[in-house]
Amino acid sequence: DIQMTQSPSSLSASVGDRLTITCRASQSISTYLNWYQQKPGKAPKLLIYAASSLEGGVPSRFSGSGSGTDFTLTISSLQPEDFATYYCQQSLRTPITFGQGTRLEIK
């Protein structure tokens, strides 16, 4: 199975900050990497697919990059509604696997 490791597991940041979350795959997954945002009590929401493609309706302050084994999700200027948990996911092969999540809290 392909293991996905996110870092950090949690972080505190302020409105307006720029931050980056990292996701590393245990083997090359090309660009079959997706990012999701989840708020408490809600289903996850797709933000980025194919490593760097922004899902429709998602603000442009979100961006993704990477290929192979190392990927990043960047939020250019944090907004109050961005405080949530973020997950990466590989879809190169089954079993589909998620990272353990990064919880973003308000400082």
Partner 1 sequence: EVQLLESGGGWVQPGGSLRLSCAASGFTFSSYAMSWVRQSPGKGLEWVSAISGSGGATYYADSVKGRFTISRDNSKNTLYLQMNSLRAEDTAVYYCTKPRPYGTGWYGCDHYWGQGTLVTVSS
Q: Are 69 and 29 spatial neighbours (Cβ–Cβ below 8 Å)? A: yes
Q: Which residues from 30-69 bind partner 1, rule CB under 8 A?
A: 30-32, 34, 36, 38, 43-46, 49-50, 53
Q: Is 14 helix (H, G, I), strand (E, B) or coil?
A: coil
* Closest CB 86 distance from partner 1, rounded Å: 11
**Could you tell me which residues come within 8 angstroms of residue 88 by beta carbon, excluding any fewer than 6 positions away?**
4, 6, 21, 23, 33, 34, 35, 36, 71, 73, 98, 99
Q: What is the footprint of partner 1 within residues 6-35 (CB under 8 A)?
A: 30-32, 34
The residues that touch partner 1, with contacts defined as CB under 8 A, are: 1, 30-32, 34, 36, 38, 43-46, 49-50, 53, 87, 89, 91-92, 94-101
